Structure 1
């Protein structure tokens, strides 16, 4: 599993708000996620499936990001009181700041109540104040810690089901054609079974290979 750090600027150097609504925030999240997302077959087999609130470490020199605490890590009250992080309300009376299912609904743009002026989750999600995590530890051996939201990926069930259906239909077509041409019904459907078995094995191998990257 590869972890990448995607930072979104909420306010500029003059204190002006750049992202003030939930709609705007999730537009930025989608843009940043797609910017760092791996290309090719990985996007075919995988999609965002959930989130975790994590404490992570950044080694800026090596551009290395690792997760140290999960799944329910939030900045402690002292971080908010000292002005290094912000989220409302602190401490939270109800956890999490935003449920995983709701996060995915907003991410995919399917939330009917996601009004353009609503900033409910924009304020509840933890945000770092001050300098970027990329610049807070410049030395070779410096390790900077922070808190954030980790988007996890899972199998794209719709695509996998569609590929399986296409494979079965293709094997049936080959079996029928072979039966008509060669007049060998048993041989035709044996070939169809081999196509299904081989195709399933290939898709499985590709899926697990991508999961290890």
Structure 2
């Protein structure tokens, strides 16, 4: 039934389906221009995985052993025609530090930058846990965000840092903006990546996992996500992931039911105590009006986030 409820695959895309470590069935649509990368992704997602190898590295070893020298030379010529020229020393140096930029709304128009360090030993589990901790640390500074806000999707953005001390950023382009293919400041594979590098719904699903929920030996999504070779500096432009939040309507609904129950109790108590049904009804109406106004103001304020 869940598969029937999924949207149809758009023309020019191919769908991959797999099961998450938590048992949930997931899917992602990839542009056909990714070519062999789609096969490598599918094979990696259906295999146990290895934390020391990304999608491109882990899936290529076996095929490389089976290729003849002539086949390898032909493939190198094909890849040289497809991939933009970048600094190969940069791409091959696994010891270079890299940082994944995470942008979090902290109230009103303000958005702040968090940087998650990525190393050769990083796995999906460690990276998403680090991003979750950074996100919660920023979000929990707002009282209502702890219970009444939840992440719903992500946007891949270009941003500019305008306050380096507080790491405030302004969004320049959205929602599917990634570094240029020939950028030497960012690491990501494949270089001909068609955004988004990771489907937003899959990103949110991984982000919601807790410690120990994901296989620590998997490294399926680190390669496609753009990572800056050095930390961002004041005034510079960058590319990152902006977490979009919306009200947690389940919690809001429970709160609304609780307010209604209290409102009914107050109305009945006033009417019985003072034999004044009209006065009790008026107080109940006043309570509902105040709650509705406050809820509306709060929801409206989220529009700036």
In the superposition, the TM-score normalised over structure 1's length comes to 0.80
The question of 1:171 aligning with 2:271 is answered no
Greater RCO (CA < 8 Å, at least 6 residues apart): 1
**How many residues are aligned here?**
194
**Mapping for residues 80-159 of structure 1, pairs under 5 Å:** 82=184, 84-92=185-193, 95-109=195-209, 114-129=214-229, 131-134=230-233, 137=234, 143-159=235-251
Which has more strand, going by share of residues?
Answer: 2
Q: What 5-or-longer segments of structure 2 have no aligned partner?
A: 1-108
Alpha-carbon distance, 1:187 to partner? 3.2
Partner residue, 1:65 = 169
User: Structure 1: how far apart are the matches of 2:124 and 2:164?
Assistant: 33
With over 3 angstroms needed to count, the CA separation of the structure-2 counterparts of 1:188 and 1:169, relative to structure 1, is same
Q: What 5-or-longer segments of structure 1 have no aligned partner?
A: 12-16, 138-142
With over 3 angstroms needed to count, the CA separation of the structure-2 counterparts of 1:212 and 1:59, relative to structure 1, is closer
Q: Considering only CA atoms, is the larger Rg found in Structure 1 or Structure 2?
A: 2
Alpha-carbon distance, 1:59 to partner? 3.8
Q: Deviations over 1:14-62 (max 9, x none)?
A: xxx35x2111111100111123233223434322221100111124656
User: Structure 2: how far apart are the matches of 1:120 and 1:66?
Assistant: 30
**Mapping for residues 178-193 of structure 1, pairs under 5 Å:** 178-193=270-285
With over 3 angstroms needed to count, the CA separation of the structure-2 counterparts of 1:171 and 1:60, relative to structure 1, is closer
The question of 1:75 aligning with 2:149 is answered no
In the superposition, the TM-score normalised over structure 2's length comes to 0.57
